[in-house]
Amino acid sequence: MICLMLAGITAGVSAQEQDKRFIQIDGLTADENGYIVPDVSIYSKHLRRGAASDRRGIFSIISIPGDTIFFSAIGYKSTILTVPETVSGTHFITDVLMVTDTILIGEVLVLPWKTYSEFKRAVLENKPVDPLMENMEYNLALVEQQIWSDMRATPGESYRYVMQQMSDNLYTRGQLPANNLLNPFAWQKFAREVKNGLLKNEPDKSSKPSKTKKSKNKSRKKKKGD
């Protein structure tokens, strides 16, 4: 009787060990367009183990037949993979498809006023103009006018500027346009005008007569008098 009980226990343990046969699951995580999805979080429900795909989308995790594996990533819907019970061997290869999760939200309008009365009071209220703000707006308008009025670029600079614009358009196709504040010719013009006293409301230094010519004229007059 005791021998039969031991044989039954041994058979049950061996059956459980057979059911918990470990296998290695390898694969690739990609989206519906075939692009690699890196850094996908992977979790085994039965073994309570986790893993993650690398920057190439390749992943590897230990599991058992019949296990449920969860794949999740930011911007994608969670994907569930059920390991087949009929898997033979200790290695199982499969690719996981990650579906893009697009959430549409309504329009959000942000205003600096809490109520309509605050908006009405802010619009109708007469506020004195700050002299500093007025001077700043005047200087900014003057700088903008000086920058865009006359670039006076050489043919070589014009060619490089056009080629740079074409390169920027190709580089930012399908994206936001390039920032025009990075225009080197405009900054060169701006620096030259600031050096000549543009922001100080002073006359252009380049328009002042040179002192050397006056000194030469005075020396010539002295020679004639002699």
Tens-digit pLDDT profile for residues 3-13: 445 455 454 54
* CATH level 2 (architecture), domain 21-98: Sandwich (2.60)
CA separation for the pair 40, 97 (Å, rounded): 11
Answer for the pair 82, 64: CB distance below 8 angstroms, yes or no: no
Three-state helix/strand/coil letters over 79-120: EEEECCCCCCCCEEECCEEECECCCCCCCCCCCCCCCHHHHH
Q: Evaluate whether 52 touches 39 at the Cβ level (below 8 Å).
A: yes
pLDDT in tens, 135-146: 888 888 888 877
Q: Which of 16-30, 80-94, 163-177 has the highest mean pLDDT?
A: 80-94
Dihedral sign for Cα atoms in the order 214, 216, 220, 223: positive
Q: What is the pLDDT of residue 54?
A: 93
Which is it for the CA torsion 59, 65, 66, 67, positive or negative?
negative
pTM above threshold 0.85: no
Domain boundaries, the chain: 21-98, 130-208
**Paired sense of beta strands 23-31 and 58-63, if any:** antiparallel
**Quick one: pLDDT band at residue 198, thresholds 50, 70, 90?**
low
